Amino acid sequence: MSHTLEERVRSRRLPGATPEVALDAAAIRDAYRRWSGFYDVVFGGVSSAGRKRAAALVNRLPGRAVLEVGVGTGLALPRYTPDKRIVGIDLSAEMLALARRRVTELGLRNVEGLLEMDAEATDFSDGQFDTAVAMFVASVVPNPRRLLAELRRVVKPGGNILLVNHFAAQGGPRWWVERAMAPMSRRLGWHPDFAMQALFEAEDIAGIETSKVAPFGIFTLVRLRN
């Protein structure tokens, strides 16, 4: 039986498997050290709708204590309502320096801390937060399921975990583009071929709420009740 090239590639690596090019903390720090100076210009626009949607949902959810994982330069921080008490973490010292400047310049008194911390192994107590939100982070960390397990740990039972992320297409032209870009993962600092199954177990996928986010639906907002 003959197979197309796409079928042969898929047979070697099924959608949902861990991306082939591994990222580690050093690679992530290096990538975002390079990006930090012009991150807002390059990515601020394309990520704006996702950040706006996620922050708006955070504002509607019950509870005040919010953890923003991968806070970066703080682009989402002005979007939270004053009653939310925000703690942000990031692995990049350079990005955090820009976030702190933003907080100072805008007088964001509800931001209680911006900490350099590994999202897969935080220093927070169990159940410390009502909501955790991770925007454009899951395809960056070395171990996505470890990230999710840590978010489950630090969020109260009954609380909410929100994620905005790019998830790999299951076919078509975008699948080819993502696969072609995959070898550049270490340089980019994220996985273009990141699949939802790399983050969630099958039972999680059955229980999450998802909605597509502009531009062109390439990002997805995910809500998981803890």
- Specify the CATH number for the domain of residue 82: 3.40.50.150
Which residue segment(s) compose the domain that 71 sits in? 25-168+196-225
Which residue, 154, 153, 164, 148, is CA-closest to 203?
A: 148
Confidence at 5, pLDDT banded by 50, 70, 90? very low
What is the DSSP code string of 33-81? HHHGGGHHHHHHHHHHHHHHHHHHHHHHSS-SEEEEET-TT-TTGGGS-
Do the domain assignments include residue 106?
Answer: yes
Q: Is 13 a member of any domain?
A: no
Assess whether pLDDT exceeds 60 at residue 101. Answer: yes
Give the model's confidence band at 139: pLDDT under 50 very low, under 70 low, under 90 confident, else very high: confident
Cα distances (Å, whole numbers) of residue 225 to 7, 14, 90, 140, 152 = 36, 28, 23, 22, 9
Query: Does residue 204 fall inside a structural domain?
Result: yes
Indicate the pLDDT class of residue 223, thresholds 50, 70 and 90.
very high
**Total count of domains within the chain:** 1
Residue 158 one-letter amino acid: G
Q: pTM of the full predicted structure?
A: 0.76
32-62 pLDDT, tens per residue? 555 545 555 456 556 688 999 999 999 999 9
Q: Is residue 178 part of a domain?
A: no
Residue 196: predicted pLDDT: 84
In a domain, 16, yes or no: no
Strand order in the sheet with 111-116: 111-116, 85-90, 65-69, 129-135, 155-166, 219-225, 209-213
161, part of any domain: yes
Query: What pLDDT is stored for residue 176 in this prediction?
Result: 36
* Domain annotation covers residue 175: no
Q: Is 83 a member of any domain?
A: yes
